[in-house]
Amino acid sequence: MPPDTLDNAKKAARTSQFAAVGAVLTFIACNGVIFLIALFSAIGITLVISPHIQALVISLFALITLTMVFIAFRKNRIPGPLILGAVGAVIVIGTMYIHYDKIIESIGLLILFVSALWSWRVSQSD
C-alpha cells in the first residue's frame, strides 16, 4: 500500500473514532442528564436543566457525529454509514424539534451509533 493511501486510511480511522465519541456524547446528553438529575435529587440537590438547551446540545452532538461520518466517507467512499448516519441524525433532531417521542429518539440514537461503528469498521478494513 502506498504511503499516501496508508495515511488516508489512518485519518479515516481516526475520524471514525471521533464519530463514535460523538454518538456516545449524544447518548449521554440525552439520557445521562436524567441520571444526573436523579443522582443530585437523591442527595438533596435540585438541578434544573432547560429542555431547550438540552435539545440544542443533543442536536449539536448528532450533527458532529454525522460530520465525522461524512469526513470518513470522503476518504473511504462507502456510502452506507453516511446514509445511516443521516437517517439517525434526522430522527434525533426531528424528535427534538418536531414531535418528541422517547422510543423514536432512542431508535435514532441507536441508528446514529451503528452508523459511527460501521464507519469505524470500514475505516479499519482499508
- Which residues, 6+ apart, have CB-to-CB distance to 77 below 8 Å? none
pLDDT digits 0-9 by tens, 73-122: 998 889 999 999 999 999 999 999 999 998 999 999 999 999 999 998 88
- Which residues, 6+ apart, have CB-to-CB distance to 63 below 8 Å? 89, 93
Kindly report the length of the chain: 126
Average pLDDT of the chain?
Answer: 85
What predicted TM-score, i.e. pTM, was given to this entire model? 0.78
| DSSP category for residue 93 | H
Q: How many of the other CB atoms lie within 10 Å of CB of 31?
A: 15
Q: On the CB side of 47, how many CA atoms lie within 13 Å of its CA?
A: 14
C-alpha 36/C-alpha 39 separation (Å) is 5
Where are the domains positioned within the chain?
Answer: 3-125
Residue 63: pLDDT over 70: yes
The per-residue pLDDT for 95 is: 95
Residue 53: what residue type? I
Q: CA quadruple 110, 60, 8, 77: dihedral positive or negative?
A: positive
- Which residues, 6+ apart, have CB-to-CB distance to 25 below 8 Å? 61, 64
